[in-house]
């Protein structure tokens, strides 16, 4: 490891340091929370998209208890590929007549004991006679309220991504403007988070600031084999807020030689 004098002579002048957008992106993705956030957001977003096309917006926002109703006939009953509480959802096709004109529609529910040819009560909208459903059934396979439930995972992912953006912004600032010094890893504490079946650790380190005070900070990472493998680790910290600091070895590999001038 380089001496402190060599480190300081190479890196604490000509601030802010210049780094590319590519390195900024690498700083963002080195955070394990960012990886988790991407997975939750991208894969979690599939479910609202898929179920959104099968959600019953009409029943939630169009039909009212005061809507008129009329008798109709079930013309077919077909199983769908969807289930609710492990029970098959059926597609009930029906027809009805108003003022001598025939209308057709589809409603969805679990097996109601209703078969083709049975008479059913049809609820329709007075100013749009073709907009209808069988009473007490849905106008689409799933209730509208399935969407908020399906939105939980992408929401969690979005929260993780916002947190990661904040963390990346701080680390980018430290790389560009931080004071380079040396520090020592003092302990590693496992967290309940895992990335690729590897436990994420809080790695605590101590360093001395320019005014001679000792400061402790920590980073979170699941790749800890090189954090604390040296007697003295390069650290950059915010001169205004020394508690904001990061181990260079917790950042992408290209950051350390960029700042210290030493591979």
For the chain, domain boundaries: 4-44+151-260, 66-140
Comparing C-alpha atoms, which of 158, 189, 177, 153 is closest to residue 246? 177
Q: Determine what percent of the chain is predicted with pLDDT higher than 90.
A: 54
Q: Which helix (H) or strand (E) holds 233?
A: strand 233-237
More confident of the two residues 115 and 57:
115
Confidence of residue 144 (pLDDT cuts 50, 70, 90): confident
Lowest mean pLDDT among 35-39, 133-137, 200-204, 233-237: 35-39
CA distances from 197 to 39, 220, 223, 224 (A): 14, 15, 11, 14
How is domain 66-140 classified at the CATH fold level?
OB fold (Dihydrolipoamide Acetyltransferase, E2P) (2.40.50)
Q: How far is CA 78 from CA 45, 121, 131, 145, 255, in A?
A: 29, 19, 21, 24, 61
Residue 178 has pLDDT above 80, yes or no: yes
Q: What is the mean pLDDT of residues 27-49?
A: 85
Sheet order of strands, 119-125 included: 101-110, 87-98, 69-84, 119-125, 128-134
- 36 pLDDT tier (thresholds 50, 70, 90): confident
pLDDT of residue 50: 72
Mean pLDDT estimate for the chain: 87
> Given this model, what pLDDT does residue 12 score?
59
pLDDT above 70 as % of the chain: 94
Confidence at residue 258, expressed as pLDDT on a 0 to 100 scale: 82
Q: Name the residue with higher pLDDT: 144 or 176.
A: 176
What per-residue confidence (pLDDT) applies to 263? 63
Residue 2 has what pLDDT?
40
Does the predicted TM-score (pTM) go above 0.75? no
Three-class SS of 16-48? CCCCCHHHHHHHHHCCHHHHHHHHHHHHHHHHH
pLDDT at 9 over 80: no
List the single range of 3-12, 27-36, 174-183, 249-258 with lowest mean pLDDT.
Answer: 3-12
């Amino acid at each position: 490891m380089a001496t402190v004098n060599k480190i300081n002579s190479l890196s604490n002048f000509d601030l802010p340091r210049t780094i590319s957008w590519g390195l900024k992106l690498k700083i963002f993705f080195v955070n394990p929370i960012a990886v988790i956030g991407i997975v939750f957001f991208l894969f979690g977003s599939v479910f609202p998209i898929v179920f959104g096309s099968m959600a019953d917006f009409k029943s939630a926002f169009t039909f009212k208890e005061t809507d008129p109703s009329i008798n109709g006939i079930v013309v077919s009953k077909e199983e769908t590929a969807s289930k609710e509480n492990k029970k098959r959802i059926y597609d009930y096709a029906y027809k009805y007549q108003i003022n001598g004109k025939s209308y057709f529609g589809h409603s969805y529910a679990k097996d109601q004991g209703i078969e083709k040819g049975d008479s059913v009560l049809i609820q329709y909208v007075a100013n749009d006679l073709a907009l209808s459903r069988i009473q007490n059934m849905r106008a689409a396979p799933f209730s509208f309220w399935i969407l908020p439930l399906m939105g939980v995972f992408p929401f969690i992912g979005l929260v993780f991504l916002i947190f990661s953006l904040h963390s990346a912004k701080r680390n980018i600032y430290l790389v560009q403007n931080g004071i380079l010094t040396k520090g020592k890893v003092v302990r590693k504490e496992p967290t309940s988070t895992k990335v690729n079946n590897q436990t994420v650790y809080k790695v605590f380190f101590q360093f001395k600031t320019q005014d001679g005070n000792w400061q402790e900070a920590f980073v979170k990472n699941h790749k800890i084999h090189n954090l604390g493998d040296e007697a003295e680790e390069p650290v950059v910290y915010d001169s205004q807020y020394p508690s904001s600091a990061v181990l260079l070895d917790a950042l992408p590999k290209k950051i350390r030689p960029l700042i210290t001038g030493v591979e």
